[in-house]
Structure 1
Amino acid sequence: MHMAFDSTLALFWLKKAISIAVQPPVAPLLLIAAGLVLAAQRRRVGFALAWAGVAATLLLSTPMSVGWLLAGLETAPVVDVAGLHQAQAIVVLGAGKRRNAPEYGGETVNRLALERLRYAARLARTTGLPVLVSGGAPTGNVPEAMLMQASLEEDFRVPVRWVEKASLDTQQNAQFSAVLLGAAGVHRIVLVTHAAHMPRAQAAFEDSGLQVIPAPTAWLGGTGAGDQALGELPGPTSAYAGWYAVHEWLGLLAYRLTR
């Protein structure tokens, strides 16, 4: 039995592979490895390349430099409560899932998605607005949006009206959600996602014809982050934030080149 070739899914995984290769920690490691290999023939150039990889690793895991990268992304302010009442729905975007969660009977949302869901639940209870969850299933198992719906309804006691479960990336989140919302006459939304992800997400939803009230959550940097980081050393938290920042800057660049 032959499986049909899914070009959309293949493109998704190709983009993922390229994304991994050009982001930390893989990109700096590739620079170091290439430099060490090249050093056998061209010592100065090879070692310069290797040291560039070391420098990139340090810069992308040092709180002060990571805070600088995040400052250009986390620009949306905390949502104004008065502005919430102008919206017609809340849209919360998926952020991944935990595939091995035996305590939940299989798969469940990951911690990043939970940060978004928690804030969306808070806004839904405050405003009474209906909720749309968005996220597909690139691995072919349970769509992320269905896991998000289960979490909102079972853990937070917030009903979900729309479940968009076909999207594979932020742009598709926006396009497919706009179709569902448009059919219900919804044109102005509260958009919930991580603060660093908001510029790319807001642009995609506005390009899909929706008016967006950004409701960012889970800041990785924020006001005063640079001052707090002056005496800090690289660590796992700042390394993760550095990866996230690079991921979003590259995502913005790719979106602007392909829109």
Structure 2
Amino acid sequence: MELDPDTLLFWLKKLVAVLALPPVLPLLPIVIGLITLRRRPRLGLAFAWAGVALNLLLIFPPSVGWLVARVEYPQMLDRARAREAQAIVVLGAGKRTHAPEFGGETVNRLALERLRYAAALARETRLPVLVSGGAPAGDTPEAYLMEALLRDEYGVPPRWVESASRDTRENARFSAVHLQAAGVKRILLVTHAMHMERARPEFEAAGLDVIPAPTAWLGGGDSPGDAQPLPFAPSQNTAYAAWFALHELLGRLAYRWSR
């Protein structure tokens, strides 16, 4: 893997994201508070309790539900507009590098959710499919794994494979090259509902008309994530939904500042 300026910037963004997202985010004020507790007891306690409060907000279903509602794309695919599309674009979401039951690597569960919906849309609309996902670490591009899964398990071989992108912005820019060369201007964009409001503007900026085709909502009910027997009890589902929502908010801010 070459450490060119773009690659260094990519991994720097990843490091910032680790610090700015749960579970590290609420730990930072707690650690600061404990460090300053001896010299500045009141200030130290304030920081520590602020971290505890932040952690509770990031796992408590009502507060997480409010956050998710501000981030997640609320509408399903407009079936009338879908007939106007010329192609389906499905974005990668990561992979499992240790999948011995599949002979090595495979896509992760997030990518699988997107691919499953893209395959259903492809069978319904008969539109050609583009898969997009690169290899930030320099190993097997995710798009190759996506292509194999769609072809072998869903019977939907993609027409285009975009395997150079490292993030959502590059997904859009590099996919647009393939699509525009084929005369495609209007696409169905398949990604998570949580990710749609960050992905759609990037594809539009690349010159494509986007019809959102979101999938896998985390909100929309009394609490985010799967149905829970205790609607006001924190769980791994609420913690994950908060992480995803903050990840997308951070991504939107980063893209807005770097335009």
TM normalised by structure 2 equals 0.95
Superposition pairs of residues 201-240 of structure 1, within 5 angstroms: 201-225=199-223, 231-240=231-240
Name the residue aligned to 2:257. Answer: 257
Q: C-alpha offsets along residues 193-225 of structure 1, whole Å, 9 cap, x if unaligned?
A: 000100000011111110000000000111554
Q: Please give the alpha-carbon distance, in whole angstroms, between the structure 2 residues aligned to 1:256 and 1:6.
A: 23
Q: Does 1:195 align with 2:202?
A: no
1:178–1:141: structure 2 CA closer, same or farther, 3 Å change rule? same
**Inter-partner Cα distance in structure 2 for 1:29 and 1:47:** 14
How many Å apart are 1:155 and its aligned residue?
A: 1.1
1:125 pairs, out of 123, 128, 135, with 123
**TM-score w.r.t. length of structure 1:** 0.95
Alignment partner, residue 11 of structure 1:
9
Supply the RMSD in Å over aligned alpha carbons: 1.5
Describe how 1:42-191 pairs up with structure 2 within 5 A.
42-191=40-189
3-state SS of 1:72 partner: helix
Partners in 1 of 2:107 and 2:19 — Cα distance?
Answer: 25
Describe the SS at the equivalent of 2:156.
coil
Aligned residues of 2:73 and 2:214 also touching (Cα < 8 A):
no
Aligned residue identity for 1:100: H
Partner in structure 2 of residue 247 of structure 1: 247
Amino acid at match of 2:12: L
Kept in 1, the 8 Å contact 2:82–2:211? The answer is: yes
Q: Which segment is superposed worse, 118-127 or 248-257?
A: 248-257
The CA deviation string for residues 93-133 of structure 1, in whole angstroms up to 9 with x for no partner, is: 00000010011111110000000000000000000000000
Equivalenced residues, count? 256
Shift of 1:4: 4.8
1:72 offset after TM fit, Å? 1.4
How many percent of aligned residue pairs carry the same amino acid? 61
Q: Report the Cα distance in structure 1 between the residues aligned to 2:88 and 2:173, rounded to whole angstroms.
A: 16
Shift of 1:236: 0.7
CA distance, structure 2, for counterparts of residue 7 and residue 114 of structure 1:
31
For 1:57-102, what per-residue CA distance to the aligned partner results, in whole angstroms no more than 9, with x for missing partners?
1111111111111111223411122211100000000000001001
For 1:182 and 1:231, the matched residues in 2 are separated by 47
Deviation at 1:5, TM superposition (A): 3.2
Cα separation, partners in 2 of 1:204 and 1:76, compared to 1, 3 Å: farther
Conserved? CA contact 2:91–2:114, under 8 Å: yes
Gaps of 5+ in 2: none
Deviation at 1:162, TM superposition (A): 0.5
- In 2, Cα distance between the equivalents of 1:138 and 1:4? 10
Letter in 2 for 1:84: A
Moved over 6 A (4+): none
1:40 is aligned to 38
Paired letter, 2:113: E
Which stretches in structure 1 are left out of the alignment for 5+ residues?
A: none
Q: Counterpart amino acid of 2:152?
A: E
Alpha-carbon shift at residue 135 of structure 1 (Å): 0.6
